[in-house]
Amino acid sequence: MPYPPKDAAIVLSHIIFAFAALLLGGVAGLLQGLVRGGMVELPAGIGYYQLLTAHGVLMALVFTTFFIIGFLYSGIANTLGGKLLPATRRFAWFGFVLMASGTVLGTIMILLNKATVLYTFYAPMQASVLFYIALVLLVVGSWSSGFGMIYQYRYWRRKHQGQLSPLFAFMSIVTMLMWLIATIGVAATVILQFIPWSLGWVDTINVMISRTLFWYFGHPLVYFWLLPAYICWYVVIPKIIGGKIFSDALARLSFILLLLFSIPVGFHHQLMEPGISPLWKYIQVVLTFMVVIPSLMTAFSLFATFEISGREKGAKGLFGWLKYLPWKDVRFFAPFMGMLIFIPAGAGGLINASHQMNGVIHNTLWVTGHFHLTVATSVALTFFGITYWLIPVITNRVLTPAMNRLGIIQTVIWLVGMFFMSGSMHTAGLFGSPRRTAYTTYNDHPDAVLWMPYHVAMAIGGTILFVAVILMVYNIFAMMRMPKGDTPYPIGEVSDQAEPTPKLLEKWWIWIVLVVVLILFAYTIPVLEMLGQSGPGSPPWVTW
């Protein structure tokens, strides 16, 4: 059956916008890698930190958000009635236009060197007010998209009283709910603090409050990237490997736990900052270890899916099932490599979250290495894997063997590039090399000289990754020229042996109340303390 053209336009616009951001962000990444490795010098008029801001904003905020919204809309349409409702489409387009306008405005401000504040836009560095307005447009646009999905979901539930919603839709709603609650933090700091301050209505900004509100949002932001990848791992991958979803209840529970525990943990990004009492840092670190549990449940569930499916096909021995996985299918290979890398990537996260070890790695290249494994490998490779079937589905085409091969080559190039880049980042970080620093040898200090070969390896890795970005963008356009045909949307079925799913998991009000309670518990006293002790605040700084 042809994919509804109006829905295809929505999904495709988001995906193409996402990959345009990936390409631009990739150019910035390539250049900054070469600069940091001491291999090129930038022409006058372009600064290292300007590139770093463009790279972070376009990759971490724009590529991810557009891709995620496009992907979730595709699954919502598919599982909740076969097409988007007219009102949902209006929400989606309105969101798209706002987000796209915000992206264009924000990128222009960065290119004009009026917003070289990096993607975390930490106060007291001050960008042009237009940069903050661009952020508002991006966030409000994403809210509209979230409301659209919730609208369609509620409509479906009204028409299917007493039925459990499809797993994909349930997981999309958790993802967007988490996003809506988390972005309240960033909206609050931008609207109440940064905009009045950058317009000169107030002279100073409370730095601690702004950073705290940022990380209230910043940590769930990383789960906003991860959850759609988990949707693919839980719901799509079983179908692609010819297996079944191990347990619907376990999958839903892990998402609910992620919703509960991903927000009240922002202090683990601020462990080295003054002004937050050790008790509250400790409490949020405990909650951080709680949010690891659903990821361990996910690992267990995936192993179970792989093993059961392999054994049903005749696998013998402890690891015989590995042979039965479709290694030559890019739709499996790319996300699987993402899963595999998530094992060391997640272990790195546990190191970061341990207070004493955080003292060793904080603000070093180790952290940059960590997030290039998590978001730029586990998540990005999964998104690439999704793209290799999603574009054929929505353009009514079939993936050719040649394109499948190109996809596998592109994945391997990405992995090789990331091995060099992230591996060197981790190592140089342990030797103390700081993150977010342009090329310098600190007057040939012996420590800094020791870092240099790793910086060169990072640049080599970054160049290899750029080749993979180019190939990915080429593949997207090449996919649009593949032969016409019917590609079904891959949605897995739940194993017959799975226990029934408790209806409680879909009683949203319980989970929303619990989220609010946890947030209030983790943040009320420390925020009151910050307000109580806050000094005069900081005037703006333009350091570039």
Which residue numbers are catalytic? 219, 223, 370-372, 435-436
Options 343-351, 391-399, 403-411, 502-510: segment touching ligand HAS (CB under 6 A): 343-351
And the tokens for 155? 């409509």
Q: What's the closest the beta carbon of residue 280 comes to ligand HAS, in angstroms? A: 15
C-alpha span between 14 and 527 (Å, rounded) = 37
Q: Is 295 an interacting residue with respect to ligand HAS (CB under 6 A)? A: yes
484, β-bridge pairs: 397
For residue 262, give the nearest of 302, 297, 202, 217 by alpha carbon: 217
Chain mean position to CA 223? 6
> How many other C-beta atoms are found inside a 10 Å radius of the C-beta of residue 532?
7
And the tokens for 494? 């739940």
DSSP characters over 411-452: HHHHHHHHHHHHHHHHHHHHTTPBSS--S--TTT-HHHHHHH
Q: What's the closest the beta carbon of residue 387 comes to ligand HAS, in angstroms? A: 18
Options 3-11, 144-152, 340-348, 415-423: segment touching ligand HAS (CB under 6 A): 340-348
Q: What's the closest the beta carbon of residue 159 comes to ligand HAS, in angstroms? A: 34
Nearer to ligand HAS, 103 or 374 (CB): 374
Residue nearest to ligand HAS (CB): 346
SS3 per-residue string spanning 311-364: HHCCCCCCCHHHHHCCCCCHHHHHHHHHHHHHHHHHHHHHHHHCHHHHHHHCCE
Nearer to ligand HAS, 118 or 149 (CB): 118
For residue 488, give the H/E element and its range: none
Give whole-number Cα distances, 402 to 37, 239, 383, 485, in Å.
36, 22, 20, 16
Fill in the per-residue mask, 239 to 268: x = in contact with ligand HAS (CB under 6 A), - = not in contact.
-----------------------------x
Nearer to ligand HAS, 103 or 377 (CB): 377
- Residues numbered 118 to 147 that lie near ligand HAS (CB under 6 A) are 120
Fill in the per-residue mask, 104 to 123: x = in contact with ligand HAS (CB under 6 A), - = not in contact.
----------------x---
Q: What's the closest the beta carbon of residue 152 comes to ligand HAS, in angstroms? A: 26
Among 197, 371, 414, 451, binds ligand HAS (CB under 6 A): 371
Among 375, 421, 460, 527, binds ligand HAS (CB under 6 A): 375
Reading phi first (left if > 0) and then psi (alpha if -120 to 50, else beta), residue 399 is in: beta
Q: Is 374 an interacting residue with respect to ligand HAS (CB under 6 A)? A: yes
Q: Is 195 an interacting residue with respect to ligand HAS (CB under 6 A)? A: no
Q: Establish whether the linkage from the previous residue to 536 is cis, with ω within 30° of 0.
A: no
Total residues contacting ligand HAS by CB under 6 A comes to 33
Q: Is 269 an interacting residue with respect to ligand HAS (CB under 6 A)? A: yes
Among 117, 339, 459, 468, binds ligand HAS (CB under 6 A): 339
Residues 6 or more apart from 314 whose CB is under 8 A from it? 324
Secondary structure percentages of the chain, helix, strand, coil, to 5: 75, 0, 25
C-alpha span between 254 and 238 (Å, rounded) = 17
Among 340, 470, 491, 518, binds ligand HAS (CB under 6 A): 340
Residues lying near ligand HAS in the complex (CB under 6 A) are found at: 120, 222, 225-226, 268-269, 288, 291-292, 295-296, 298-299, 302-303, 322, 339-340, 342-343, 346, 349-350, 352-353, 358, 362, 367, 370-371, 374-375, 379
